[in-house]
């Protein structure tokens, strides 16, 4: 079963490729997305990694570990809350 992981406290220099390389050490990675600001294109410091295997191992191994100069936070992603109307 696939697991969607939240990865926080990323360096603003982290790319999809570097994040994928980190998580591939712990299992099979299906997709990676570092979230960027719509206006500036700069990383917002977090992202998501979807893994078909090794998700729990990646959480255990990487949560709180140093990556690109920052101690990253890794946990299972929560479903997105529905947004209300914008007035």
Q: Which residue reads 């719509």 in tokens?
A: 38
What SS3 state is found at 15?
coil
How do residues 1-36 score in pLDDT, each as one tens digit? 789 999 999 999 999 999 999 999 999 999 999 999
Beta strands in 2-72 (DSSP E): 3-8, 29-36, 43-51, 66-67, 70-71
Q: Alpha-carbon distance 13 to 73, whole Å?
A: 16
Structure tokens at 38: 């719509």
pLDDT in tens, 30-66: 999 999 999 998 999 999 999 999 999 999 999 999 9
Residue with tokens 């990675």: 29
Domain residue ranges in the chain: 3-76
Which helix H or strand E contains 22, and what residues bound it? helix 16-24
Note the pTM of the prediction, 2 decimals: 0.89
Q: Do 16 and 24 touch, CB atoms closer than 8 A?
A: no
Q: Write the class of the CATH domain 3-76.
A: alpha beta
């Amino acid at each position: 079963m696939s697991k969607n992981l939240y990865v926080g406290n990323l360096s603003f220099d982290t790319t999809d490729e570097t994040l994928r390389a980190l998580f591939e050490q712990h299992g099979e990675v299906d997709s990676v997305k570092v979230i960027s600001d719509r206006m500036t294109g700069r990383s917002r410091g977090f992202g998501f990694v979807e893994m078909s295997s090794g998700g729990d191992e990646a959480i255990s191994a990487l949560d709180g570990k140093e990556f690109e100069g920052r101690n990253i936070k890794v946990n299972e992603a929560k479903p997105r809350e529905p947004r209300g109307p914008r007035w």
